[in-house]
Amino acid sequence: MDDLVQLTRDRDTDNDVAIITINNPPVNALSPGVAQGIAQTIAQADKDDGVKAVVLIGGGRTFVAGADIKEFGKITSGKTQRGAGLLPLLLQIEDVRKPVVVAIHGSAFGGGLELAMAGHYRVAAPSAQLGQPEVKLGIIPGAGGTQRLPRLVGVAKAVEMCAEGNPITAQEALKLGLVDRLIEGDLLAGAVAFAREASEKPVRKTRERSDKLGTPALNEPIFAAAREKARTKQRGMMSAIAAIDAVEAATRVSFEEGCQVERQLFDKCLFSDQSKALIHAFFGEREVAKIPDIPKETAIIPVNSVAVVGAGTMGGGIAMVFANAGFRVLIKEADQPALDRGLATIQKNYQSSVKRGRFTQQFVDERLKLIQPTLSYDDFGDVDMVVEAVFEGMALKKEVFGQLDRVCKPGAILASNTSTLDVDEIASATSRPGAVIGTHFFSPANIMRLLEIVRGKASSKEVIATCMQLSKKLGKVGVLVGNCRGFVGNRIFGPYRREAQFLVEEGASIETVDHALYDFGMAMGPMSTGDLAGLDVGWRIRKEFRHLEKPGVRQPFAEDRLCELGRYGQKTGAGWYKYDENRRAIPDPEVNEMVLRWSREAGIAQRKISSEEIVDRCIYALVNEGARILEEGIVGRTVDIDIIYLNGYGFPAYRGGPMWYADTVGLDKVYRRISEFQQQHGELWEPAPLLKRLAQEGKTFAELNREQAVMA
């Protein structure tokens, strides 16, 4: 414990300031022993008459990033340790007779901010971030955060920070009164100086403050608006509503009673499936960055300049992603009109980001300067990486990669944004297949967080490691996947959308199918998603691979028929739905009638279909194909599939991803249901052998992950 928390004295001056340093790398989480260590050192400093003030600071790269999330899984209902260790400690700190100044750098998140708010004063480095992100883990602040924060920043800001979980900057915290001073340069020295000043002033106990708690009349509209926002922006998330309820309690009852309300709500959330799923997603996002056969010390290729070939829907977005991360980006098109179109779209997208307050105009102007248009490969000679995003055709891709092989320097990374084509065949057009890799961004590339990194047979470990690391710099979640048709995301999405079409052909209305999946928590129903991406994209791919379809096996036809009518979705104003000038979807009874006619002509019996069946067929189609992909080694872990679906396909985070969700339902039940569908709908529903085995062994995908991690 001693090495987790140290007590020292400020030697530079009068030796009258005690310094308590927390050392629990990598993020000073409040792991077992840390809270106890702080309690002991605080007690020592409090008793020591030679001490006039105390500074509490984090060692290493950050203050405290919260409670130790790894410990949550060990907490059993009825005995929630979390509060036990922390709440009394925070009261102890608040009751210290001399000022406790908390010095913040890096992140003061969750229990870390709660710790800071128990201090009498807070100072921060200008780059520090402060927040209560617990809601993103399916829980709420559980150590008085929902009670102390409104007392320091006011009700509206506190409910926003606790219900949405986004951090604020040190500058904003200063404005709000959450932080008392920003310290440029040496944080510790600045904190000690501040503490010395504060030792002349009375201590301020946050829990005793009420000047910012408003009145019921003032607060009522704040809570109503927050609940409405949570219902739309965090649809289905119980923790968001719980956080609002807890902050509201702070405005209605005493601090002690408010903490009890917070505790009950915290426990309800902590033991929910939602929280387990969200914590799985938290650690999953970090786990997918670790590739078992790519050692940590693999050399990273320096990437400082980039080129993008093709400035269409994806090329333009990809150029923005690199520019936003500060890279100089060359962007090449086939001809001037196409280049002008591409640049105009980039400018338009940046302007709408300014309008929505995502970027400042100054930021956008600087980014646009980094994007350099060109019509020739002449300037490609010294770029470190190229991302190709031209039309989806093998011949064209190979022609472009042949060109890149001739003009790019040795060691340059040659990446393709192809969404379906064979990366190895693309690489065969070069003399350096080891430098070729797939970097599959998702549309809109400047928004979607997911980046599928497609490993070719020859892709070198250095190229893979570099792209994995680069994805983090680009603000993306990079997931390494194998090279197969549609890679992971699109390949699994195929059966999901196939079942959605079948259900419409069997009598479910388009709206019913979309509503069922929307209510399940998907960001958008499968039919609306098709209209957004463009029904023609899938149609072209199906036509290209028609020869691979098994004779006698049922294939969906409705979407192909719609495409033959030129109904490609939003881009043509009509697809499964009609669209008004603001791209708002309008149900089109004509489509339901057409599908009914086509289905009857195809001899498909019409029947009433429940939402439960709709969800099971679409979601279990994902799970079954996911299990196949795992067996084929296209991904190494089921968590990779979950992270892909949470960040690229609008799967509800509070369900943890398709594979985690299947575990929550129980693989035996999923297997039984899929076997039923096989009975009813034939071989398309043949259960994946892995799923069958795990179901029969009573195992879960999560256990399989753990087994694999041990073997790796």
Query: Residues with catalytic annotation?
Result: 114, 134
When CB distances are held under 5 to 8 angstroms depending on the partner's kind, the choice from ligand NAD, ligand T1G, none that residue 533 binds is: ligand NAD
* Between 141 and 310, CB nearer to ligand NAD: 310
Of 52, 157, 332, 476, which lies in the binding site for ligand NAD, with binding defined by CB under 6 A?
332
Q: Is residue 132 within 8 Å of residue 152, measured between CB atoms?
A: no
The first and second tokens of residue 20, run together, are 């308590």
CB of 710 to ligand T1G, least distance (A): 16
Q: Which residues, numbered 157-216, are part of the site for ligand NAD (CB under 6 A)?
A: none
Q: Is residue 380 within 8 Å of residue 301, measured between CB atoms?
A: no
Question: Stretches 20-28, 305-313, 356-364, 564-572: which one binds ligand NAD (CB under 6 A)?
Answer: 305-313
CB of 70 to ligand T1G, least distance (A): 5
Is 384 strand, coil or helix?
coil
Beta carbons within 10 angstroms of residue 348's beta carbon: 11
* Between 136 and 332, CB nearer to ligand T1G: 136
Distance in angstroms (rounded) separating the CA atoms of residues 147 and 151: 7
Distance in angstroms (rounded) separating the CA atoms of residues 12 and 94: 26
Question: Stretches 158-166, 195-203, 349-357, 417-425: which one binds ligand NAD (CB under 6 A)?
Answer: 417-425
Of 57, 86, 222, 311, which lies in the binding site for ligand NAD, with binding defined by CB under 6 A?
311
What DSSP character marks residue 418? -
Q: Does residue 333 bind ligand NAD (CB under 6 A)?
A: yes
Q: Is residue 194 within 8 Å of residue 179, measured between CB atoms?
A: no
Q: Which residues, numbered 532-571, are part of the site for ligand NAD (CB under 6 A)?
A: 533
With CA atoms as reference, report the closest residue to 37 among 53, 21, 61: 21
CB of 659 to ligand NAD, least distance (A): 23
Q: Is residue 442 within 8 Å of residue 487, measured between CB atoms?
A: no
CB of 570 to ligand NAD, least distance (A): 12
When CB distances are held under 5 to 8 angstroms depending on the partner's kind, the choice from ligand T1G, ligand NAD, none that residue 417 binds is: ligand NAD
* Between 483 and 647, CB nearer to ligand T1G: 647
Distance in angstroms (rounded) separating the CA atoms of residues 246 and 134: 13
When CB distances are held under 5 to 8 angstroms depending on the partner's kind, the choice from ligand T1G, ligand NAD, none that residue 313 binds is: ligand NAD
Q: Does residue 418 bind ligand NAD (CB under 6 A)?
A: yes
Distance in angstroms (rounded) separating the CA atoms of residues 348 and 365: 13
CB of 397 to ligand NAD, least distance (A): 7
Query: Which H helix or E strand runs over 221?
Result: helix 216-233
* Between 111 and 310, CB nearer to ligand T1G: 111
CB of 271 to ligand T1G, least distance (A): 13
Looking at 332-443, list the stretches that DSSP marks H as alpha helix, in order from N- to C-terminal side. Answer: 336-355, 361-370, 394-407, 423-427
Q: Does residue 673 bind ligand NAD (CB under 6 A)?
A: no
Question: Stretches 124-132, 231-239, 283-291, 307-315: which one binds ligand NAD (CB under 6 A)?
Answer: 307-315
CB of 434 to ligand NAD, least distance (A): 22
Residue nearest to ligand NAD (CB): 312
Question: Stretches 147-155, 327-335, 464-472, 583-591: which one binds ligand NAD (CB under 6 A)?
Answer: 327-335
CA quadruple 513, 515, 516, 518: dihedral, nearest 10 = 120
CB of 142 to ligand T1G, least distance (A): 4
Per-residue binding string, ligand NAD, 362-401, x by CB under 6 A, is ---------------------------xxxx---x---x-
CB of 116 to ligand T1G, least distance (A): 12
Per-residue binding string, ligand NAD, 426-445, x by CB under 6 A, is --------------xxxx--
Angle 273-287/255-270 helices, nearest 10 degrees? Answer: 70
* Between 134 and 267, CB nearer to ligand T1G: 134
Question: Stretches 68-76, 153-161, 308-316, 622-630: which one binds ligand NAD (CB under 6 A)?
Answer: 308-316
Q: Does residue 453 bind ligand NAD (CB under 6 A)?
A: no
Q: Does residue 314 bind ligand NAD (CB under 6 A)?
A: yes
Phi and psi torsions of 329, nearest 5°: -125, 120
Beta carbons within 10 angstroms of residue 39's beta carbon: 17
Report the side by side order of strands in the sheet with 5-9. 5-9, 17-22, 53-58, 100-104, 121-124, 181-182
When CB distances are held under 5 to 8 angstroms depending on the partner's kind, the choice from ligand NAD, ligand T1G, none that residue 40 binds is: none
Q: Is residue 657 within 8 Å of residue 641, measured between CB atoms?
A: yes
One-letter amino acid of 607: R
When CB distances are held under 5 to 8 angstroms depending on the partner's kind, the choice from ligand NAD, ligand T1G, none that residue 94 binds is: none
* Between 448 and 609, CB nearer to ligand NAD: 448
Could you list the residues that contact ligand T1G (CB under 6 A)? 26-27, 29, 65-70, 82, 86, 107, 109-111, 114, 133-134, 137, 139, 141-143, 145, 283, 286
Question: Stretches 150-158, 232-240, 413-421, 474-482: which one binds ligand NAD (CB under 6 A)?
Answer: 413-421
DSSP 483-546: -STTTTHHHHHHHHHHHHHHHHHTT--HHHHHHHHHHHT-SS-HHHHHHHH-HHHHHHHHHHTG
Query: Which H helix or E strand runs over 438?
Result: strand 436-441
Phi and psi torsions of 413, nearest 5°: -90, 130
Distance in angstroms (rounded) separating the CA atoms of residues 311 and 331: 7
Of 178, 309, 413, 629, which lies in the binding site for ligand NAD, with binding defined by CB under 6 A?
309
Q: Is residue 404 within 8 Å of residue 386, measured between CB atoms?
A: yes
CB of 388 to ligand NAD, least distance (A): 8
Phi and psi torsions of 16, nearest 5°: -110, 10
CB of 461 to ligand T1G, least distance (A): 20
CB of 282 to ligand T1G, least distance (A): 7
When CB distances are held under 5 to 8 angstroms depending on the partner's kind, the choice from ligand T1G, ligand NAD, none that residue 310 binds is: ligand NAD
When CB distances are held under 5 to 8 angstroms depending on the partner's kind, the choice from ligand T1G, ligand NAD, none that residue 111 binds is: ligand T1G
Q: Is residue 570 within 8 Å of residue 532, measured between CB atoms?
A: yes
When CB distances are held under 5 to 8 angstroms depending on the partner's kind, the choice from ligand NAD, ligand T1G, none that residue 27 binds is: ligand T1G
Question: For strand 129-131 and strand 107-109, is the pairing parallel, antiparallel, or unpaired?
Answer: parallel
**CA atoms in the 13 A half-sphere facing the CB of 663:** 22
Distance in angstroms (rounded) separating the CA atoms of residues 203 and 286: 41
One-letter amino acid of 690: L
* Between 241 and 309, CB nearer to ligand NAD: 309
* Between 364 and 421, CB nearer to ligand NAD: 421
- Show Cβ contacts of residue 590 under 8 Å, excluding neighbours closer than 6 positions: none
Q: Write out the residues near ligand NAD by the rule CB under 6 A.
A: 309-315, 332-334, 338, 389-392, 396, 400, 417-419, 440-443, 533
